[in-house]
Structure 1
């Protein structure tokens, strides 16, 4: 965030107060199971260097999760000099490269729920106007519903109280984008199967199969019939050269969704062949062809490859 954006902040806070903040209104009217106040303990604070709100917020979030990172180190991973800022996909990628699940937080209620559970939330805001945006990353670390405030590490300020209504406006202009950084095996408060599976798959894509496997195992404890989690667990174990474990996972995928299990049968064929079970591998490849999309050549290619080995 630039100095000019900081100068605009107070004016924008006043402007934001003149429009509706529906999520805040609903929360204050009915907080549900949320405690009235919450504060995440021991969240590190790195005062933002110029244009480094992204590196600072990412570093604070990852440092809180137990990683010895600095703002400068994160700048090497997330800062884009040509844009004088940070792109959201780069924040997600940095979390994954450092072995953390990057899980989205979709609503203000979920955001406060994560804080109440003891986790800081990395948020993306537009502190300017729609036609003149001033993008900003910060970390939400606490709240007080009686005072209607969110507590943030933001820019040069630590533990800064911001009106929830004001935050909602700036967050909405940022597309309601927010993340929690979880260790593999942890679950967000409002866990959604598809989101945590995507987060675990992200660890696979940055070549962290051990972390991905731990994440998938936790997902399967919550959703034991999750076909994509079984598939991902098999992929992670195969990358770890745990062939027996990969076989077990892909058989779990087949049991979870037999009618749509062509990808699992296809992968199972390869691992059975690697384990020296050629007849069973051919049978698995044939089953993949029978169940799969007739227009997809991959299953037929697998069958031909294994048959001709």
Structure 2
């Protein structure tokens, strides 16, 4: 999938600003030299890039083990959704990050390799390519990538910006459960963790939600996810504590309802009744479910 870069038109927008006023809290150069390298074979840059990112966080992965998950022979490549799902299938959290050059720099500074999608062709004749950003050098004005057959590609910031912009400035970071990219937004983190929970063992999903709550303690989705995953592990007391905190913090009917159900199973019927009554009084889309819970408590 790697081709010679086509003649570039237009002008880089982010590069001049970045070079003119570099972030004061970032060093002038970073390179994650220990990042593994898997040369691309044929059109399979997706499996190679994903294997690089997964292996970099301690999940040893060979590209050939990912081909069936992320490579679409009919398209001679990998779609973004398959790349994210492929990472989750190996036990990692896959999270999109902002489409800025500074975000790429900050992630590598934090030790995170970043998978990016480039268009090495033209807008009307695309040549899609996945690579992994492993560093940058502001003095030399280039990014450092694991890309195709090149273990260490130095690509000018402006050239990278053009190819990445034509790829929609799409990028993601893989992390172990409990960690998240430095630059991720709360919205993207929520989407990533909900998707991760669908396929992850409850203990891994619980670690992921705990890590997210440490950054965003007021996120109701994270709290409910943590409570549900603790319950799935059999930790009913832990789940009750999480649901109670979420219910009181957000005055949320779903949290009160879940709290009531867990308290009932723990034999705390009076506490369960109070929680269920509060859930019913709040109304909303969970009122019928809460009313059913209250009936069970009163049986």
Instruction: State the TM-score bracket (shorter-chain normalisation).
Output: over 0.9
Alpha-carbon displacement from aligned partner over 1:237-270 (angstroms, at most 9, x marks no partner):
1111111111111112123212xx1111121122
Q: 1:108 to 1:288 in 2, by over 3 A?
A: same
- Structure 2 match to 1:31: 22
Q: Are 1:64 and 2:60 matched, yes or no? A: no
**Alpha-carbon distance in structure 2 between the residues aligned to 1:239 and 1:162:** 47
Whether the 8 Å CA contact 1:203–1:212 is kept in 2: the answer is yes
Q: 1:124 to 1:296 in 2, by over 3 A?
A: farther
**Alpha-carbon distance in structure 1 between the residues aligned to 2:84 and 2:137:** 28
Q: Are 1:51 and 2:34 matched, yes or no? A: no
- Structure 2 match to 1:164: 157
Gaps of 5+ in 2: none
Alpha-carbon displacement from aligned partner over 1:67-102 (angstroms, at most 9, x marks no partner):
121000011221122322211111111222222121
Whether the 8 Å CA contact 1:52–1:85 is kept in 2: the answer is yes
What pairs with 1:165-184 in structure 2 (closer than 5 Å)?
165-184=158-177
What SS does the aligned partner of 1:285 have? helix
Whether the 8 Å CA contact 1:41–1:118 is kept in 2: the answer is no
What SS does the aligned partner of 1:67 have? coil
Candidates 69, 75, 96, aligned match of 1:77: 69
- Structure 1 match to 2:115: 122
Whether the 8 Å CA contact 2:273–2:298 is kept in 1: the answer is no
Candidates 128, 139, 145, aligned match of 1:135: 128
**Alpha-carbon distance in structure 1 between the residues aligned to 2:118 and 2:185:** 23
**Alpha-carbon distance in structure 2 between the residues aligned to 1:172 and 1:128:** 12
- Structure 1 match to 2:194: 201
Q: Are 1:274 and 2:265 matched, yes or no? A: yes
Whether the 8 Å CA contact 2:96–2:184 is kept in 1: the answer is no
TM-align CA RMSD: 1.9
Whether the 8 Å CA contact 1:141–1:153 is kept in 2: the answer is yes
**Alpha-carbon distance in structure 2 between the residues aligned to 1:24 and 1:62:** 29
- Report how far residue 46 of structure 1 moved: 0.6
Number of residue pairs the alignment of both structures matches = 297
